[in-house]
Amino acid sequence: MASNLSIFSASLALLSFFVLCSAIADVAAAKRTRLHFYFHEINAGPNTSVVRVAQANTTLASPTSFGALVVADNPLTKGPELTSKLVGRAQGIYTSASQEELAFMTSLNFAFTAGKYNGSVLTVLGRFAIALPVREMSVVGGSGYFRLARGYARIRTHRMDQRTGLVTVEYNVTVIHPR
């Protein structure tokens, strides 16, 4: 009985060692890519990039628009100006998910349309609390160059123009992927 237990313990230790070595090899083989770009949400005019598609019966009475569902197709540019070089589109949904503060559950695909990452996509998911000076969301996947991606995005509002309805948001994204 004791020898069976020691064989089992040794086998378990050996298996754990191989799993750990495999995980270390995966991390060592992974590439780290850092991206920096600007997201432009256009809330007014003929080129509006966000549209409210649904809301709860109580949404209009809520100070946080709780229950609103918005679909977005926002330009991503290299620089902070909307006229800067277009590098992709942020396509997805935001749902106002807090009754206490302006915070959204956000699911976005960053579809890159230029340069080295043209045709590749990063998927970002998480809580987006407007009042925080810096927000963080998870990179949960990707395709093309970013297949099997994971990582995070640090997000900061660059400019919010109430007059024009343009919101510019700076993204610093760190991605770990196999390439």
Q: Is the pLDDT of residue 63 over 50?
A: yes
Average pLDDT, the chain: 90
Instruction: Please compute the mean of the pLDDT values over residues 130-158 and round it to a whole number.
Output: 97
The CA distance from 176 to 174, in Å, is: 7
Q: Is the pLDDT of residue 2 over 60?
A: no
DSSP letter for each residue of 47-95: T--EEEEE--TTGGG-TT-TT-EEEEEEEEESSSSTTSPEEEEEEEEEE
pLDDT of residue 7: 76
Report percent pLDDT > 90 for the chain: 79
Q: How far is CA 176 from CA 31, 78, 145, 179, in A?
A: 6, 21, 11, 9
Residue 25: which pLDDT band, with cuts at 50, 70 and 90? very low
Note the pLDDT tens digit of each residue in 101-116: 999 999 999 999 999 9
Residue type, 166: L
CATH superfamily of the domain spanning 31-177: Allene oxide cyclase-like (2.40.480.10)
Q: Is the pLDDT of residue 23 over 50?
A: no
The CA distance from 95 to 132, in Å, is: 17
Instruction: Please compute the mean of the pLDDT values over residues 62-77 and round it to a whole number.
Output: 97
Q: Is the pLDDT of residue 24 over 80?
A: no
User: What ranges do the domains of the chain cover?
Assistant: 31-177
Note the pLDDT tens digit of each residue in 30-51: 899 999 999 999 999 999 999 9
pLDDT of residue 6: 75
